[in-house]
Amino acid sequence: MANRVTQHAVEVLRSTTPVARVTQESLEVLRNRPANSVGLTQAPVEVLRKHAFPAYLTQQPVEVLRAADVAIVTQTVLEVLRRSTPLLFTQYAIEVLGTTAVALKHILTQQVVEILRQRAVYATGPGNGGETFSLQLAPSGTTETATLAATMNAGDTVVELTGTAGLPASGGFCLHIDDEVIYVTPVGGDFYRAVRRGVSNTVVAAHAAGASAVWTDYYDMAVASESDIAKSFTYSIDGNTYFAWLVAFDSSQAYFGGDRYATRIAEFLGVFPPGDNTTSKMDGSQPSGSFAPLGVTDDCPSGITVPARIVTDIVTGDVALLRYTNVEAGILTLGSRSTMIQSWYGFSRRDGLNNDVTATDPSGTVVDAVADVESHDVPLLTTTMPGTDRTYTYGPPRFSDKGWPIGVLAVRQGTRRVPHWVSTDWHDFSYVYSGFHEDATFAQVIINRNGFAYAGVVEESVDLPGSQDITGPNATWDDSSYFSSSAWYVGIFVGAVLFVGPGLNGTANVPPPGSAPLPVVSPGSSTGTGPGSTPPGGSLEGGEGGNISPPESAAERFSVVMV
């Protein structure tokens, strides 16, 4: 009977019961024990650590600790849980422990907070970042294949394999089994915990024994759309129809051989209906357009993809896939990934003779020239793009297309605040960050205003076509001790202006100072609004962003990571 099982019984289990005998039922007994919770101390947790089969350690031990006296939930107990239940806590469990953290500030140290932070498996969306969980990629150009030892049902959370010698012995990674991608962590032997099923917009399904389980050198991050984005719209001012495009801006931290490694989105694969990765709503995948830097470095990473044209209206719930690829000869571990996907209206693709191939050639040229810069311990972040780098927007004797400088400004804030930046000629739009923890990053979408017309006033900062050099993003930080970077390029566009549409993954939940409103164009719209309809941010030039304070307590840190 449950009311007869006390700490003494647990101590007996510790000394006599074989490993296989301490199962989920034992945890249920502890969970439903009587009011003698004062008897539940570190000892039962030690028993679970030494005797219980790891696959059975779920949220229940956390529930037990929650019901126990607060005074006995100490750092030692959490250290035991860290060693015995990697990546198994749910968001609810973290919230429980987060409440404990507030009550026990003298017991739960920064180290414990970091332990609990690592339990946060997925954190997606605007305002808090793309993803925060670590993910290992196989060496470049290689795959490792194991075999499913037993049938795996759609609801199973344990993967049993054979032939696992080539798989990581610790840490998380993804397995491709049939058409499903599963994020797993090693449990011991040939057993793996399926932390998340149906990753990368795949469908959770049953798998037969003997199916291949493949670890690859790439990972496709899924970003669900929170907006309706039309494939085109007709501008009521000039009567012209503008095609819609998507650009992914990111700041993605990785690690190689224990060192920081700057990486970026290698390819924007497309936007797909939920669970269907075969029917893209774009006319082709697009590679990275500009990034800074790439490789082992302490510099902060930033990246921006080549614009991808939308050919079918995107609706809320559709899923964008962004591919990260390991280019190194050893295992690469992805870290915090801050990603914002922004829509635009009016880009143009050109062939080598400057013919318009927007609707016919997904590989046509839409990016005229690229620039990037990374720095540390300097107040001003800027780089110069020589006019001679451009072909399509240079003017005679070259081509005379219109162009617009567009990019991303990134900073690694870690556990500190996001510093404040200002620019006299580059304006801020959507932003995204991945929380506040080791090597967390912040990415801001920025554009040079470039001949922007409003109420008869035309800005004169960069007027393309033209042969002049261009500088950017000319951002001055209020604290120069951070690592920062920027990646930007000149995109070719048609019409009177390049329109800014809605962000695919929503609008940031705390607008930075001076942020401009973004026009929303719903599928099927015959008219739309553009940046020229209202003065952005109260001024025609310049922008600012950042200045986001870090959490003031452990519990706030949990909420930032888990939103």
Cis peptide before 186, with omega less than 30 degrees from 0?
no
Closest by Cα among 375, 543, 354 to 449: 543
Is 513 in the same domain as 491? yes
Range of the domain at 508: 223-323+336-562
Q: Is residue 138 part of a domain?
A: no
Would 134 be classed as within a structural domain?
no
Euclidean distance between CA atoms 509 and 354, whole angstroms: 41
Q: Count Cβ atoms below 10 Å from residue 195 Cβ, excluding itself.
A: 18
In a domain, 482, yes or no: yes
Provide CB contacts within 8 A for 239, sequence distance 6+: none
455 and 352 co-located in one domain: yes
Q: Measured between alpha carbons, how far is 158 from 213 in angstroms, rounded to an integer?
A: 13
Exposure on the CB side of residue 368, measured as CA atoms within 13 A: 32
Both 317 and 346 in one domain: the answer is yes
Q: What are phi and psi of 196, to 5 degrees?
A: -145, 125
**pTM of the complete model:** 0.76
Rounded Cα distance between 236 and 527, Å, is 5
Are 207 and 233 contained in the same domain? Answer: no
Amino acid at 505: N
Q: Are residues 277 and 154 in the same domain?
A: no
In a domain, 235, yes or no: yes
Does residue 415 share a domain with residue 359? Answer: yes
Q: Tell me how far apart the terminal alpha carbons of the chain are, to the nearest angstrom.
A: 40
Evaluate whether residue 331 is within a structural domain.
no
pLDDT of residue 557: 57
Shared-domain flag, residues 288 and 427: yes
Closest listed residue to residue 336, CA positions, set 257, 408, 412, 253: 253
Q: Where are the alpha helices (DSSP H) in 242-337?
A: none
The answer to whether residues 349 and 384 belong to one domain is yes
Pair 228, 177 in one domain: no
Does residue 316 fall inside a structural domain? yes
Specify whether 435 is located in the same domain as 450.
Answer: yes
Rounded to 10°, the helix 42-51/75-84 angle is 10
Residues 72 and 170 in one domain: no
Distance CA 246, CA 254 (A): 24
Phi, psi of 387 (to 5 degrees): -60, -30
Q: Is 21 left (phi over 0), alpha (psi -120 to 50) or beta?
A: alpha
341 assigned to some structural domain: yes
Q: Are residues 436 and 453 in the same domain?
A: yes
Instruction: Tell which of 216, 240, 271 closes a domain.
Output: 216
Classified as helix, coil or strand, 10 is helix
Considering its fold, how many domains does the chain have in total? Answer: 3
> What phi and psi values does residue 140 have, to the nearest 5 degrees?
-55, 130
pLDDT in single tens digits along all 563 residues of the chain: 333 334 444 444 444 433 333 344 444 444 444 333 333 344 444 444 444 333 333 334 444 444 443 333 344 444 444 443 333 333 334 444 444 443 333 333 444 444 444 433 333 333 345 777 889 999 999 999 999 999 999 989 899 999 999 999 999 999 999 999 999 999 888 999 998 899 999 999 999 999 999 999 999 999 888 888 999 988 777 788 899 999 999 999 999 998 999 999 999 999 999 999 999 999 999 999 999 888 999 999 999 999 999 999 999 889 999 999 999 999 999 998 889 999 999 999 999 999 999 999 999 999 999 998 877 777 899 999 999 999 999 999 999 999 989 999 999 998 889 999 998 888 888 888 887 778 889 999 998 865 444 444 444 446 789 998 888 898 999 998 999 999 999 999 987 778 888 888 765 433 333 333 333 333 333 233 333 223 333 344 678 898 888 877 655 655 554 43
